Amino acid sequence: MSFDAFAQQLINALSLGSIYAVLALGLAMVYSTLGILNFAYGELITIVGYTMFFASEAGMPFILMAALGIVVAGAASVAMQAVIFRPLRGANFVTLLFASFALSQVLQGLFRQAISPRSKGIPTPDLFSDFIQIGAVRVGVLALITLAVALSTMAVLLLFMRRSRAGLQMRAAAQDLTTARILGVRTDRVIPLAFLVSGLMAGVGGVLWIARTTSVNPGTGFTPILVAFVAIVLGGLGSIPGAVIGAFAFGALEIMLQAYLPGAIVPFQFAIALVAVAVVLVVRPQGLLGHEVEVKV
Amino acid sequence: MTRLWRLSLDASSRSALVGAGLTALLLVALSALLVLPGDRGLSGTAVVLLVSITLVTSLQVFIGNSGILSFGHVAFMGVGAYVTALLTIPLAIRQTQLPDLPPILAGIELGGLSAVLVAGTVCAVLGVIVGATLVRMPVNAVVMATLALLIVVFTVLLNWQSLTRGGQGVFGIPRLTTPPVALGAAILFVVVARLFKSSGVGLRLRASREDELAARAAGIDVPRVRLVSFTLSAGMMGAAGSLWALNVLAFDPDQFSFAMTFALLAMLVVGGKESVLGGVVGAVIVVVITELLSRVEQGVTIGTFELPRITGTVQFALAALIIASLIWRPDGLVGRREAEDLVPWIRKWFVRSRGPGVGSVPGPAPVPAPGRAPLPDGPLLTGTGIAKAFGGIRALAGVDVEVRPGEILGIIGPNGSGKSTLLNVLSGITTPDAGRVILGDEDITAGPSHRTARLGLTRTFQNIRLFDHLTVRENIAAAHGARLEDVDRLLGAFDLTAHADSAADTLSYGQQRRLEILRALAMRPSVMLLDEPAAGMNEVESDVLMESIRAIARDDGCAVIIVDHDLRLITRLCDRIQVLETGQTLAVGTPAAVVADPAVVAAYLGTGHGSGPTTSTAMAAGE
């Protein structure tokens, strides 16, 4: 295996990992703030896909399709909060997971019923399939764009969480929702805000995912949400940096398996990646960055 | 024979059998209703319903008792179904479908019962392997891991062409799940699930569902009981998948993905996931809705109206049903009740007519107190140089502590002085950064807390931690090593006999405090840690409590470490007092010496105030 080929795969791995990281961050955001695992998060990505599909039918350029997709995902996430999670406020983890699982099934049924059970193609700019030659390494333009967009999205999120007042309130709520509330953080604003940020992350991640897969069907959201789940468990449930690291690790694992597995086993690639993660979790059940918190007894 | 029957079944297993019997009657009645008219469609529905009951009951064994959601069980159903297909499809058909089968599979043709048993065994083995990984992970992570399990197995079924034909699916399985077979299987599954729920493992598993930390502190090896139920549940699911295959006759991997998972979980949620009867009721509702709607989907004419064909209605209806029931009946239609709870007079009659043993509870066989060392002369429990930091906060910075048999040691100190962390380290809940904890001659520094409890160190918690939805009696019986004959005696001694069969969360605050102490006592500890046992009690109540604690120390030679803010209680009760401040020992000695210690007085009151025991209220208020 030459260095050049390896470098090429490395960039692919980083690129895929960065999509996963954006997606995992959106999911982890709501989990660490509110303790909710939103199973219907995957459907936000499907919604991005359909929004982009209809926007392209309407003749919009790609950049507008993408922007519209992100906005709609943000709005849909806030709507999910209002429709499903608010009526069940105070319910436990399992109940909320059940409810969002049911919601994801409703949405999938809706897409199948109202749009089509078949895949719809989404046109992407020709530029995306070009390659650039850097020395001996051929790098896909899409991989580079993906990496740039994902990294800048994460940077913006970091700035928002660190520097803005709303970000501070969300971090406070993540530490201790009750205390944050006592100290004047308004949960009726922080909770929808957390869902909005989560939806926007799903939006950006979704656009990048769709640009890669160039189609959408009712089940589009499944693989991304599964990977996001795996990433945050691998990184350490509840740890935001863990989610990012878990996502990059899983992306790298997937690309490397794809590149180096013998042909006959390639269909099992995803399953092998999941089993590998399970092996890591046998050694470190709390995940890569999972850490001990003081037990409140 | 009768004697054996009586000996081996206590009241709770008997009432479980009554419940299972009643549920079985319900199944017989339902099947009769559907099969006797002789309509082929209806008797087909009966088989679908009964097979669904075997599936949902298998799922309930794990989810209902452990409280952990699993999306992965349908994977076991799939494995069970494919194992069955590979063993029962007639050899000639098998040869044309799957020419590349390994010789051993190409040559065996089994009957229905053997196929079901093999499928169950294969899945139980798979269940042990998968479960051993799962039970080590944090609970919320397990849910996601089960999802991954579903995907891994689905991928394998889809791509292992030589064994499964991939997406084309397999066909030609003989129809062996006839209505009587399905009925027998459903009854058997219900009986097994119901007996498991009432068994010792089932009880301890339910305790861990209510409060994992408290369960560990009560000596329950939580990962182990979870693994047992996961394995049983996986094996049952495999057998149920086999029965399913012997009814549908042809299938492909798509049938073992989300739609099936969703339908089974809907049954559990709608009926009541903590109850075996709930699963049955949920299965009836979901199967009826599915059958009706699938007729609608094929287009139905009602009078002059012709309804349009709508695909996916089942999915919508189930989702709506789940969401509605989560909002309005989060515990499901039957809640936590079982069949025998719905017909209380039958249970009373049955249980009473069985003579002695009434009111006893399941639990391990009588054994000597676990690991209790003979009382040594020196210290029983010794902690040396215990240090623990959380992030940058040093909760404990090198604390020594020791207590002798029969001694009562009080630990006081301001909030944040490290009292609770010290108790958590001693009881094995928190592993210290430095230092050692020795109990008798065992090193218990690294816990885990259930081992510590089994070696004879038990505890109560500052914020009462009971198994809320278990009865008072079950709360005690769940504790490791609790002996049947002790439970009634303890209930009497602590004035809780009248409430023995009430759920713990219905007790008053004072009763809950007492029950928690009782649970710790039932393990017959050599050391007991009490974290603010008198919190919220008035003087009379705390006097009664004090007397009980004295008796525990005096009569059983049990060493007691007690943390409390009530200095009146601490100074009167304790042989020695240890004062903590900012994670270090400020003073240790007899109550009189400690209360007079200038450093203690300064820490509590600032210098310049009076000193002595009379300031106890002020000191307590200073907390």
ipTM of the complex: 0.85
Domain boundary, last residue among B237, B255, B273 = B255
What's the CATH code of the domain at B552?
Answer: 3.40.50.300
The mean per-residue pLDDT over the stretch A87-108 comes to 87
Q: Which of residues 100-139 of A touch B (CB under 8 A)?
A: 101-103, 105-106, 108-109, 112-113
In a domain, B131, yes or no: yes
Q: What are the CB-based long-range contacts (under 8 Å, 24+) for B41-48? A: B43/B179, B45/B287, B45/B291, B46/B179, B46/B182, B47/B177, B47/B178, B47/B179, B47/B182, B47/B247, B48/B247, B48/B287, B48/B291
Task: Out of A87, A268, A282, name the one closest to residue B133 (CB).
Answer: A282
Q: Which residues pair with B386 in a beta bridge?
A: B399
Task: Out of B67, B138, B147, name the one closest to residue A237 (CB).
Answer: B138
Residue whose structure tokens are 């089942």: B314
**pLDDT (tens digit per residue) in A126-160:** 888 888 887 778 888 888 899 999 999 999 998 88
Distance CA B67, CA B140 (A): 11
Number of domains, chain B: 2
Residue whose structure tokens are 């809950």: B512
Give alpha helix (H) positions in A35-123.
41-57, 62-80, 93-110
| Residues A95, B326: C-beta atoms closer than 8 Å | yes
Whether omega for the bond prior to residue B448 falls within 30 degrees of 0, making it cis, is yes
In a domain, B193, yes or no: yes
Distance CA B16, CA B474 (A): 14
Task: Out of A95, A113, A271, name the one closest to residue B152 (CB).
Answer: A271
Q: What does the pLDDT read at residue B608?
A: 47
In a domain, B261, yes or no: no
Distance CA B164, CA B441 (A): 57
Q: What does the pLDDT read at residue A140?
A: 86
Tokens of B302: 């009602």
Q: What does the pLDDT read at residue B468?
A: 93
Q: For residues A70 and A207, is the Cβ–Cβ distance under 8 A? A: yes
A266: chain B residues, CB-CB within 8 Å: none
| Residues A98, B133: C-beta atoms closer than 8 Å | no
Shortest CA distance from B388: residue in chain A: A294
Q: What does the pLDDT read at residue B600?
A: 83
Residue A296: pLDDT band with limits 50, 70, 90: low
Q: What does the pLDDT read at residue B349?
A: 67
In a domain, B1, yes or no: no
In a domain, B401, yes or no: yes
In a domain, B503, yes or no: no
The mean per-residue pLDDT over the stretch A213-220 comes to 92
CA-based nearest distance B424→chain A, Å: 8
Within 8 A by CB and 6+ apart from A200, the residues are A26, A70, A73, A74, A77
In a domain, B315, yes or no: no
Distance CA B76, CA B240 (A): 9
Task: Out of A98, A233, A237, name the one closest to residue B322 (CB).
Answer: A98
Asked if A236 reaches chain B (Cβ–Cβ under 8 Å), the answer is: no
pTM of the model: 0.87
Q: For residues B422 and B402, is the Cβ–Cβ distance under 8 A? A: no
Tokens of A266: 């390639």
The mean per-residue pLDDT over the stretch A175-193 comes to 81
Instruction: Point out the residues of chain B with pLDDT beneath 70.
Output: 1-10, 297-312, 346-377, 605-623
For chain B, state the CA radius of gyration.
Answer: 29
Q: Which of A222-236, A261-275, B12-26, B77-91 ranks highest by mean pLDDT?
A: B77-91
Q: What does the pLDDT read at residue B347?
A: 63
In terms of DSSP bridges, do strands B381-390 and B408-412 run parallel, antiparallel, or are they unpaired? Answer: unpaired
Of the listed ranges A17-21, A270-274, B315-319, B432-436, the one predicted with least confidence: B315-319
B395: chain A residues, CB-CB within 8 Å: 294
| Residues A295, B213: C-beta atoms closer than 8 Å | yes
Domain boundary, last residue among B220, B255, B290 = B255
* Torsion angle (degrees, nearest 10) of CA B76, B78, B81, B87: -90
Domain check: are B386 and B251 in the same one? no
Domain that holds residue B34: 9-255
Domain boundary, last residue among B255, B290, B314 = B255
In a domain, B545, yes or no: yes
* Residue B376: C-alpha distances to residues A53, B406, B441 (Å): 78, 11, 10
| Residues A87, B141: C-beta atoms closer than 8 Å | no
| Residues A295, B311: C-beta atoms closer than 8 Å | no
